[in-house]
Amino acid sequence: MNNWTRRGLISTLPAAAASRLLSQTLPASRPKIKITDLKCAIIGKSPVVRIVTDQGISGFGQAESYKDYLKPMVMFYKKYLIGHDPTDVENVMMQIRRMGAFKPWGAAVSAIEIALWDIAGKVAGQPVYKMLGGKIRDRVRVYNGGFRPPMNGQMPKDYAENVQQMKEAKEGYTLIKMAVGFHNANMMKAIPDMWYDEPRGGASHPNKGILTERGMNHILACAEAMKKVLGDQVGLALDCGPGFMIKDAITFAKACEPMRLTWLEDLLTGDYTPYPNADLYRDLKQATSATIHTGEQIYNRQNFKDLIEKQAVDVLGPDPEDVGGIGEFKWIAEYADLHSIAVAPHGIFDGLIGLAAHVHLAAALPQNFIAFEYPYGQPEWWYDIIEGLPNPIVKKGFIDVWDAPGLGVNFRVKAAKARLSPEDSGFFD
């Protein structure tokens, strides 16, 4: 019997019986939920977002650690959120998405977006991955970009010893990423005259130039030493720049081809570079069979359009906490999949709320997903203030996807309050 037939029957029944039947056939209406407040606290060094609603449900998001300076940027968006239904995630994002930018300025928008999904899942009583279309995998692969045993030096043998320790880590990583070249200032200082310029100071990754023969040979020797240790049991990816000139990038990539590395990341542009440079990446990709990767600094789907449509790279690595959030990442991943481009989310400093967001996102990504960069709790006491994560978190290189509503992680409020500064003491009130 459909609802129209039931309604006809109801009209012929006594009032009490009609009321009982109506309550069984029509869903109870829920009062519209509204955002009443946006809060941001610096916990450790991570800006943590709390979106408060009039129904007592809050959602949480997190920006990368070491971005404590973003708190005013987060709070800038408050006036655009108040009064909106947080479960209409896209409608709320339309209010603020235009006012984000490349790393680090997309982080504030991303943290808010993740908090909205947390609320949407809690209201629906469903895990966030259900909100993203449902999971296609029960466990998600992670790669190691954060566990870094101390280095004894910057020679090939030191890199070999270092990845041996990572290979033996309790998490059982199946993929390890190591910084080399211009992404690794210590490596570039290890030997005089690695490139034809002087080391420069300033904001992230300030160095760029033409490698000397000595510099090129040293980077390659370190890569070869690491690959010899890992063999084909554990994949090796290299975070290389930004900073390579195109000719050196091609030479380096071609020299790496026999090693069958999982990817070469950000050779030309990358971390904190405020543009994607798709044409140059296309030239690089066409010149080598090595796997070319970029994308962690890029904000918003439109800025991935050229990289995808021009087939400029093999792997995209947006960061959910910089690109505009997990819904934004899902859109980019689907479009990349149409063009046979893989995705490997960046996330080394995304924290434990960010870790939860990564798990739900990765569960729902298409089959072009490789692995996401496993974020650690920084400082270590973050593990004491968050509950809901599996124990152990990583097993044999994978994380089992959990089913609790929303992101499925919550603060141990008493313990977390003890970590708040006086300025942020009202964060949980």
Quote the tokens at residue 164: 């041996």
Looking at domain 35-126+420-424, which of 3.30.390.10, 1.10.420.10, 3.30.930.10, 3.30.70.1150 is its CATH number?
Answer: 3.30.390.10
Phi and psi at 244, nearest 5°, equal -70, 140
Residue environment code for 9-42, b if the CB has 16+ CB neighbours within 10 A, otherwise e:
ebeeeeeeebeeeeeeeeeeeeeebebeebbbbb
Q: What residue ranges of the chain are covered by domains with CATH 3.30.390.10?
A: 35-126+420-424
Q: Identify the pLDDT of residue 7.
A: 42
Query: In this model, does residue 345 exceed pLDDT 80?
Result: yes
Domain with CATH 3.20.20.120 in the chain: 131-408
- The pLDDT tens digits for 251-274 are 999 999 999 999 999 999 999 999
Quickly count: other Cβ atoms within 10 Å of residue 55's Cβ. 16
Cα dist. 169→23, 352, 354, 416 in Å? 56, 19, 22, 29
Measured at the CA of 343, the angle between CA 338 and CA 346, to 5 degrees, comes to 150
Determine the pLDDT at residue 146.
85
pLDDT tier at 22 (50, 70, 90 boundaries)? very low
Q: Which two tokens stand for residue 310?
A: 């021009």
Rounded CA gap, 317 and 329, in Å?
10
38 in Cβ contact with 112 (< 8 Å):
yes
Q: Average of pLDDT values for 69-83? A: 98
Distance in angstroms (rounded) separating the CA atoms of residues 97 and 94:
6
CA angle 42, 110, 268 (to 5 degrees): 105
Torsion 198-157-285-107 (CA) sign: negative
Q: From CA 71, how far away is CA 135, in angstroms rounded?
A: 33
Residue 5: per-residue pLDDT: 36
> Which residues, in sequence order, are bridge partners of residue 193?
none
- Alpha-carbon distance values, 118 to 88, 115, 137, 267, 357 (Å): 12, 5, 20, 35, 9
Q: What is the pLDDT of residues 77-130, one digit of tens each?
A: 999 999 999 999 999 999 999 999 999 999 999 999 999 999 999 999 999 999
Q: How confident is the model at residue 1 (pLDDT cuts 50, 70, 90)?
A: very low
The region of weakest confidence among 94-103, 144-153, 177-186, 394-403 is 144-153
The residue written with tokens 């298409």 in the block is 366
Q: Which of 416, 410, 382 is nearest to 122 (CA)?
A: 410
119, 86 contact by CB (below 8 A): yes
Q: Which of 14-28, 64-78, 303-317 has the lowest mean pLDDT?
A: 14-28
Q: Which amino acid is at 281?
A: Y
User: What proportion of the chain, given as a percentage, has pLDDT over 70?
Assistant: 93
pLDDT class of 33 with cuts at 50, 70, 90 = very high
Write down the pLDDT at residue 152: 92
Distance CA 357, CA 329 (A): 11
Q: Mean of the per-residue pLDDT values for the chain?
A: 94
pLDDT on residue 203: 86
Q: Quick one: average pLDDT of 8-29?
A: 47
The Cα–Cα gap between 49 and 42 comes to: 9
pTM metric for this prediction: 0.92
CATH number for the 131-408 domain, one of 3.40.50.1820, 2.60.40.10, 3.30.420.60, 3.20.20.120? 3.20.20.120
pLDDT score recorded for residue 14:
53
Is pLDDT above 50 for 18? no
Predicted pLDDT of residue 9: 38
For residue 25, name the pLDDT band (cuts at 50, 70, 90).
very low
Q: What is the 3-state secondary structure (H, E, C) of the chain?
A: CCHHHHHHHHCCCCHHHHHHHHHHHCCCCCCCCCEEEEEEEEECCEEEEEEEECCCCEEEEECCCCCHHHHHHHHHCHHHHCCCCCCCHHHHHHHHHHHCCCCCCHHHHHHHHHHHHHHHHHHHCCEHHHHCCCCCCCEEEEEECCCCCCCCCCCHHHHHHHHHHHHCCCCCCCEEEEECHHHCHHHHHHCCCCECCCCCCCCCCCCCECECHHHHHHHHHHHHHHHHHHCCCCEEEEECCCCECHHHHHHHHHHHHHHCCCEEECCCCCCCCCCCCHHHHHHHHHCCCCCEEECCCCCCHHHHHHHHHCCCCCEECCCCCCCCCHHHHHHHHHHHHHCCCEECCCCCCCHHHHHHHHHHHHHHCCCCECCEECCCCCCCCHHHHEECCCCCCCECCEEECCCCCECCCEECHHHHHCCCCHHHCCCCC
